[in-house]
Amino acid sequence: MFSIVNEPKLIACLLVLLSLACDASPPPRQSASGAASAEPFRCGRLSLVPASERQGFVDRPAEEWPQIVLTNRASFEGSSGLNGASAFLLRSSASEETWIASARHLIGRMGGVQPSLIEVAADVGRFNARLERWRVHPRTEPNRFVDANALATSAVFGDWVLLSVERQDSLPANPVMLASRKARVGDAITLVGCPYSERACTQNLYRGHVLEEVDNGFTFDVTPHVNIRGFSGAPILNEDGNVVGVLHRTVPEARNEDGTHRIAVADDGLLRSCGR
């Protein structure tokens, strides 16, 4: 039992403890698997593929390419979800670190996400607090999937969005690497994607060449012509099989009467920021 003379000292101690409790920082946000949110992305983590490195699959027939393009299934607190469009896995050339890559505009009205999270994504912590799940899988194989852990970077690289991947023994697609330089006019490219009209499609290849440089990207022709609705976030590879952009948008004036597109626009904001 405390005497009267000790009560002021006891009260002072309690006030100090209360102050410390109030000033304590909250623990880092945990993902559904219990992993803490990723640190903000830095270009140094990417380790660009050497300019001379050619991926072996590019010399195979299209039907022998590994699975590359994936589709999105994402849910958010306080906003409607994202279901569809395109994504792929991006890997550092110097480590096993892997990210889900897709198009930033898909976390807004164009992806059916309302209220939009495009501006929220500029703040890693705020976005991760809203992210409930982001899963990617081959379109016709939803049981082959990988989940995102957290947003890996604020959305400052044009139309790119990167999310760190949960650790997993096997992945549903072959990760690709970022090219060491941006695409130039005349370069051969390959768009990897699937039109919504082909219900059984897992992956098609569309060939083309860079036509013109535009803000944060480039235009390219598409062969065969295809309705690229749903291709947003799909990877665009150079002739060595390394990523030079994500599918950003269509060119309305290059749309055919049957709804297919002759020309599309790629965003290469990540490569412009992290490349040489």
User: Is residue 9 scored above 50 in pLDDT?
Assistant: no
Contact 146, 168 (CB under 8 A): yes
Widest CA span in the chain: 92
pLDDT of residue 28: 36
Q: Which residue has the higher pLDDT, 12 or 125?
A: 125
8 A C-beta contact, residue 217 and residue 268: yes
What's the token pair of residue 120? 């929220």
What pLDDT does residue 122 have? 86
Residue 266 has pLDDT above 80, yes or no: yes
For 26, counting Cβ atoms within 10 Å of its Cβ (0-12 exposed, 13-18 middle, 19+ buried), the class is exposed
Nearest to 178 by CA among 254, 61, 91: 91
Specify burial of residue 210 (Cβ count, 10 A radius: 0-12, 13-18, 19+). buried
* CATH of the domain spanning 188-274, picked from 3.40.109.10, 2.60.40.10, 3.40.50.300, 2.40.10.10: 2.40.10.10
Q: Is the pLDDT of residue 152 over 90?
A: no
Which pLDDT does position 83 carry in this prediction? 96
Q: Are strands 131-137 and 204-214 parallel, antiparallel or unpaired?
A: unpaired
Percent of the chain with pLDDT over 70: 79
pLDDT confidence of residue 51: 57
Whether residue 19 is predicted with pLDDT greater than 70 in this model: the reply is no
DSSP 8-class letter at 254 = G
247 contacts 86 by C-beta, under 8 angstroms: yes
Give the residue extent of every domain in the chain: 43-51+61-165, 188-274
The amino acid occupying position 26 is P
For residue 148, name the pLDDT band (cuts at 50, 70, 90): very high
CA 85/CA 138 separation, integer angstroms: 11
Q: What is the pLDDT of residues 84-129, one digit of tens each?
A: 999 999 988 777 789 999 999 999 999 999 999 999 998 889 999 9
Using DSSP's 3-state secondary structure scheme, residue 126 falls into helix
Output 47 or 1, whichever has higher pLDDT: 47
**Dihedral in degrees, nearest 10, Cα atoms 60, 66, 71, 77:** -140
Q: What token pair was written down for 248? A: 């950003």
How many residues make up the chain in this entry?
276
pLDDT of 50: 63
Sign of the CA dihedral with 26 first, then 29, 35, and 36 last: negative
**Mean of pLDDT values over 130-154:** 91
**Pairing status of strand 131-137 against strand 235-238:** unpaired
Q: Which pLDDT band, with edges at 50, 70 and 90, does 143 fall under?
A: very high
Contact call for residues 191 and 230 (beta carbons, < 8 A): no
Per-residue pLDDT at 73 exceeds 70: yes
Q: How far is CA 163 from CA 45, 168, 192, in A?
A: 13, 15, 20
Rounded CA separation 155/51 (Å):
26
Identity of the amino acid at 23? D
pLDDT (0 to 100) of residue 231: 96
Contact between 264 and 211 under an 8 Å Cβ cutoff? The reply is: no
